[in-house]
């Protein structure tokens, strides 16, 4: 009897806590999530983005895709960007933000994952004036891992088929499986080029990482493989933003 009474008292005590948790989970699932993903080239950002989009049913807002689609659709801001691009100019921050905001309005309040913009603190500040972010996902992959991964990529010029010496090597070293023709390494994939690109990325994005860290919304996920990083990202987003 005493045990049953204690159990009833415990349930009564936990009831408000469970109720609050249910409300929290309900709000998590109903409130649109505004997220940004960052990561150096070769960090697996594309793969992680795809998994976030498919798992949590959010819209992927790639800045490059948004720019191209707005130009193709001939929207007012798209035409403005087109005129600049056709003259060989760089699209100004204000126009890029207009493009992003125009696309966001089409989503009718749904959750989205921003990718490729902002790249600088100035861009982040201007975006923040229009739209606040809930979380910034930063993929922290050792540069030496990235250099090693990319430098093992070889292609067949004729078909564009890509090989990786670790994951899918050619049957005959240096030769295409289908034609037997020579494989080549793109200049962009050579170690010295990759190292330079990563250095430029670090110099450009460190202030941006500091900016979002001070805002308290940056979450970094470390690892050398996407299959190690992804479960961490998924668990974090599930616990804090989405109800699966």
Annotated binding-site positions: 42-47, 63, 68, 89-91, 116-119, 123, 153, 186, 197, 226
Please say if 34 is a catalytic residue.
no
Helix (H, G, I), strand (E, B) or coil at 96: helix
Please say if 11 is a catalytic residue.
no
Q: Pick out the residues of the known binding site for GTP.
A: 42-47, 153, 226
CA distance 110 to 26: 15
CA nearest neighbour of 84 among 101, 69, 67: 67
Please say if 243 is a catalytic residue.
no
Please say if 21 is a catalytic residue.
no
Catalytic site residue from 152, 190, 197, 234? 197
CA distance 137 to 19: 30
Q: Pick out the residues of the known binding site for AMP.
A: 63, 68, 89-91, 116-119, 123, 186, 197
How far, rounded to the nearest angstrom, does the alpha carbon of residue 228 sit from its chain's CA centroid?
16
Please say if 8 is a catalytic residue.
no
CA distance 90 to 200: 18
Catalytic site residue from 119, 126, 175, 234? 119
Catalytic site residue from 34, 45, 103, 149? 45
Say how many residues make up the chain: 244
CA distance 58 to 46: 15
Task: Please answer whether residues 159 and 178 qualify as being in contact, where contact means their C-beta atoms are separated by less than 8 angstroms.
Answer: yes
CA distance 208 to 64: 19
Catalytic site residue from 31, 72, 186, 206? 186
Check residue 181 and report its DSSP letter.
P
CA distance 14 to 25: 16
List, by residue number, the catalytic residues.
Answer: 45, 119, 153, 186, 197
């Amino acid at each position: 009897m005493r045990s049953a009474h204690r159990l009833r008292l415990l349930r009564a005590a936990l009831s408000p806590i469970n109720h609050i948790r249910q409300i929290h989970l309900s709000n998590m699932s109903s409130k649109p999530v505004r997220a940004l993903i960052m990561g150096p080239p070769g960090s697996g950002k594309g793969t992680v983005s795809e998994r976030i989009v498919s798992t949590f049913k959010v819209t992927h807002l790639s800045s490059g895709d948004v720019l191209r689609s707005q130009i193709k659709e001939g929207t007012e801001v798209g035409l403005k960007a087109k005129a600049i691009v056709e003259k060989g100019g760089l699209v100004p921050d204000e126009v890029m933000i207009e493009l992003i905001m125009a696309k966001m309005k089409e989503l009718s309040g749904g959750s989205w994952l921003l990718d490729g913009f902002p790249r600088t603190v100035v861009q982040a500040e201007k975006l923040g004036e229009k739209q606040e972010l809930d979380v910034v996902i930063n993929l922290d992959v050792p540069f030496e891992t990235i250099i090693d991964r990319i430098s093992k990529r070889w292609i067949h010029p004729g078909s564009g088929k890509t090989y990786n010496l670790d994951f899918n090597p050619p049957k005959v070293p240096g030769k295409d499986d289908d034609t037997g023709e020579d494989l080549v390494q793109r200049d962009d994939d050579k170690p010295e080029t990759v190292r330079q690109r990563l250095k430029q990325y670090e110099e450009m994005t460190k202030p941006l990482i500091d900016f979002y860290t001070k805002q308290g919304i940056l979450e970094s996920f470390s690892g050398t493989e996407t299959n190690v990083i992804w479960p961490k990202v998924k668990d974090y987003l599930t616990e804090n933003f989405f109800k699966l």
